[in-house]
Structures are given as C-alpha cells and as structure tokens.
Amino acid sequence: MSADRRAELEANLADVRGRIAAAERAGGLESGSVQLVVVTKTWPASDVRLLAGLGITDVAENRDQEARPKQAECSDLGLRWHFVGQLQRNKARHVVAYADEVESVDRVELATALDRAASDAGRTIDVLLQVDLADPPQPHRGGVVPADVAALADHVSRCAALRLRGLMAVAPLGEDPRTAFARLAVVAADLRRDHPEASVLSAGMSHDLEEAVEAGATHVRVGTAVLGGRPPLG
C-alpha cells in the first residue's frame, strides 16, 4: 500500500517538477530557482513522510487543528512548515509553535498577535502578506487589498519576532490568472522598493503554476497535482 502510494507520489512529483523546470526555462530563470511547497492539507502524516523521502523540504497546511498533530508526528523530518490558511488571532500561539512561515498575514491585529506569540515562544517567524487580488475585493476569503499592503508591510517590519519575506496570493476564480498575477507583480515591485528583503512571491497552484512563474513567482504551492484530488472535508 505504502509502496504504491510512494510510487504514485514519485510520479506526480516528477510531473510537477518537470512543469516547474519548463516554466523556469520559458522565463529564462536558472534551473531550481522556483521553490516547490507541497500543500498537504487533508492528507495524512504518512504522505508527508513519503514526500520528505522524495526530497520535499517545504510543506503547507491551512487549518491549525489538522496541522498541529501532523507536524508533531513529522517533527523528526526537518521539514519547513508553512501556514497558508485564514487565521484567527486566538490561534496565533498554536501556529507559531510549529510553523516556520505564515503566508496568510492580512491584517495588523493578526501580525501583532503573531509577533507577541513568537516572541513569547522565543522564535522568529517568516511572514508573507496575503494579497486579495479579487476585483472587487472578497474579504471573506482573506487577504489585504493592494492599496493597504504598504502600511501592513511597515507594521510587520517593526515586529521584532517577525521577518517580512514577501507576498502570497491566490488567483481569483473566474479571471485569467495572467491578468491577476500581473497585478500582483506590480504590488510586489512596489513592496520591494520599500522593503528589499521582501523578495518572496508565493503564487501559483496546481492549475496555474506556469502563469505564476511567468509573473515572477519564487514559490509555488501545489497540492492536488502532487497528492491527488482532496477527499471532501468531513
């Protein structure tokens, strides 16, 4: 069973790595310059273990209740854990205990809560600001509107236990990802002018990673194309 699953993940990973390599070539980028983050939400810790054995270094989760026990089971693997889901302030303490990077910071209050929690835990957490690319904005899906990115970035850069690393976004449904990611590239260029260290651009998922790399993504977050279709959430 596990051997079958390993073979399946290995084949899927070969395919995704091939797609990333082709996108790098198309963009004139150095091979290996785009980082693959595998989104393991809804999949068991045993899959995370297999992925680590297949050379994956970075995994992402979007729900604290699920991520916490999974990370605990996999704490021997030396993986980097990304948190990519909407986050309530009262979960900040939980999340900073296992996440190395929070990609979904979208408001000042959340940044402040993460900073306090990380400071108390004696940790420094990498942070990406999640940008809402929808037009009009869709606040219930998370994300800071482009016009408010600069102020939020200034706030995060003053948080001693947070390290501002860049931006994350999801292309809105019903729009060509190229036009959405083109808007994101402008926001990212503006941010780098004020905060040169914020050079990470996390964009692109299973169905639009090529468009994201074309627009300058440095990290792609891929779930389905590596692990298969997610079982419905119970």
Ligand X SMILES: *Cc1c(COP(=O)(O)O)cnc(C)c1O
Return the structure tokens found at 196. Answer: 């040169």
Tell me the C-alpha distance between 223 and 207, whole Å: 10
Amino acid at position 122, single letter: G
CB of 84 to ligand X, least distance (A): 4
Asked if 82 interacts with ligand X (CB under 6 A), we say no
Examine residue 97 and tell whether it contacts ligand X (CB under 6 A).
no
Residue nearest to ligand X (CB): 223
For β-strands 80-83 and 35-39, DSSP reports them as unpaired
Q: Given the complex with ligand X, which of 50 and 209 has the nearer CB atom?
A: 209
* Beta bridge mates, 118: none
Cα gap 106→174, rounded to integer Å:
22
Please identify, among the stretches 7-15, 65-73, 154-162, 219-227, the one whose residues bind ligand X according to the rule CB under 6 A: 219-227
Cross-strand partners of 39:
60
- Size of residue set near ligand X by CB under 6 A: 12
The least distance separating ligand X from the CB of residue 119, rounded to whole angstroms, comes to: 26
How many CA atoms within 13 Å lie on the side-chain side of 177?
Answer: 18
Q: Which stretch binds ligand X (CB under 6 A): 70-78, 111-119, 150-158, 221-229?
A: 221-229
Q: Which of 143, 146, 166, 223 binds ligand X (CB under 6 A)?
A: 223
Which one among 24, 77, 206, 228 touches ligand X, defined by CB under 6 A? Answer: 206
Site for ligand X in 158-197 (CB under 6 A): 170
* Environment class of 131 (CB within 10 Å of its CB; exposed 0-12, middle 13-18, buried 19+): buried
Q: Which stretch binds ligand X (CB under 6 A): 9-17, 73-81, 186-194, 216-224?
A: 216-224
In whole angstroms, the minimum distance from the beta carbon of 223 to ligand X comes to 3
Q: Name residue 105's beta-bridge partners.
A: 129
Among 74, 84, 149, 213, binds ligand X (CB under 6 A): 84
- Near ligand X by CB under 6 A, which window of 23-31, 92-100, 210-218, 222-230? 222-230
Helix (H) or strand (E) holding 48, with range, is helix 45-53
Sign of CA dihedral 89, 95, 97, 103: negative
Distances in Å between the Cα of 54 and the Cα atoms of 38, 49, 122, 215 are 12, 9, 31, 28
For position 62 contacting ligand X by CB under 6 A, the verdict is: yes
Binding site for ligand X (CB under 6 A): 39, 41, 62, 84, 170, 205-206, 221-225
